[in-house]
Amino acid sequence: MNNASALAVEVRDLRVRRGRTQVFSGLQLDIPRGQITGLLGPSGCGKTTLMRSIVGVQKVEGGTVTVLGEPAGTHPQRRRVAYDTQAASVYGDLTVSQNLHYFARLIGAPRSDVDRVIEQVGLVGHADQTIASLSGGEETRVSLAVAMLGSPELLVLDEPTVGLDPVLRAELWTLFRALADGGATLIVSSHVMDEAVRCDRLVLMRAGRIIADTTPDGLLADTATSDPDAAFLALVERDEATAADDAERLAVTDRTPEEPAKLPLPGAAESPAITPEPSESEAPVEPAEPPEHPLTRRELREAQQTHGESSPASDEEEGGR
């Protein structure tokens, strides 16, 4: 058996946005055939969005979802895949039996399936009652019975045990086990962690991410705990610590490194600061004194006579006389 035939669901790089909220950013998941896979996590973690993507009713941004070897939501899967939503999808003014006969005709299931599923969900005594007269838990079981019509290969059940008493929950889990043992694949979501031990495989989700894909025994062993609630809390704490470490590493990577200060080598004497002398081109230029204005010959002669000096010209004149 190759890997493809061993898988009921293959999710690759699934991206889903709802409004301004990015629900999934590249989700990866494999779900094996013939097992009960539990989707567990707090409300709002993305369980219902993942289930809607698997049955092909969720608008996706990107990635692929392959179900039973075909793209999710294709026409042939209408009889091979069943989806039981959180809200009961039945008609309140019809009886239990009338609802089941109606949906059996829609999907082409045999009439004998109606009595079979009524018995399996424990509603034999309520077959002729209208849905409006049933309790909330009974209405939930009618919706589950509709999903079981036609013996689908894959049942996607969104919190099928919510609001049920412990006895009825135990009965339904016995039914789920019988369906899986008969070859069906079940994906069951829940936020009740004690239901984890009833699954073959566990996918624990938080804030649109898968934080664990393991088995019940593997979950307890990995977290060194003795009950699923403590194990999930341990995984949440581990996930938060990992996210904080990743954020710190990213912040360190984004910092601009500063230039390290240049320190003197050990034992090296500190050199005195030397102020470099300016070069010739940088030396200040002293302003030149303005040149003296030359005296005329007459002014020079008058000055010499005033100081009792004679000029060569006057000597020549006297000698000529």
The DSSP secondary structure of 109-177, one letter per residue, reads: --THHHHHHHHHTT-GGGTTSBGGGS-HHHHHHHHHHHHHTT--SEEEEESTTTT--HHHHHHHHHHHH
Structure confidence by residue, pLDDT tens digits, 155-189: 999 999 888 888 888 999 999 999 999 999 999 99
- pLDDT tens series, the chain, 321 aa: 455 578 999 999 999 999 999 999 999 999 999 999 999 988 889 999 999 999 999 999 999 999 999 999 998 888 899 999 988 889 999 999 999 999 999 999 999 999 999 999 999 999 999 999 999 889 989 999 999 999 999 999 999 988 888 888 899 999 999 999 999 999 999 888 888 899 999 999 999 999 999 999 999 999 999 888 898 889 988 888 877 776 677 677 665 555 555 555 555 555 555 555 555 555 555 555 555 555 556 665 666 665 555 555 445 444 444
Structure confidence by residue, pLDDT tens digits, 6-49: 899 999 999 999 999 999 999 999 999 999 999 998 888 999 99
Q: Is 287 left (phi over 0), alpha (psi -120 to 50) or beta?
A: beta
Amino acid at site 47: K
What is the value of pTM for the model shown?
Answer: 0.74
Name the residue with tokens 């990866």: 28
The first and second tokens of residue 196, run together, are 């984890």
Please, what's the b/e burial string for 81-92 (b: 16 or more CB within 10 A of its CB; e: otherwise)? Answer: bbbbbeebebee
Alpha-carbon distance of 1 to 127, in angstroms, equals: 42
Name the residue with tokens 């493809």: 4
pLDDT of residue 284: 56
Looking at the DSSP bridge assignments, the partners of residue 158 are 189
pLDDT of residue 5: 72
- Coil/strand/helix, residue 73: coil
The first and second tokens of residue 91, run together, are 């008609």
Q: Is 69 left (phi over 0), alpha (psi -120 to 50) or beta?
A: left
pLDDT of residue 318: 47
What are the two backbone dihedrals, phi and then psi, of residue 240, each rounded to the nearest 5 degrees?
Answer: -65, -40
Name the residue with tokens 């969104």: 158
Alpha-carbon distance of 95 to 138, in angstroms, equals: 12
Name the residue with tokens 């209208």: 130
What count of other Cβ atoms lies within 10 Å of the Cβ of residue 162? 15
Amino acid at site 197: V
pLDDT of residue 240: 84
Q: Can you spell out the DSSP letters for 117-133?
A: HHHHTT-GGGTTSBGGG
CA atoms within 13 A on the CB side of 24: 28
What are the two backbone dihedrals, phi and then psi, of residue 71, each rounded to the nearest 5 degrees?
Answer: -60, 140
Rg of the chain over Cα atoms, rounded to whole angstroms, equals 47
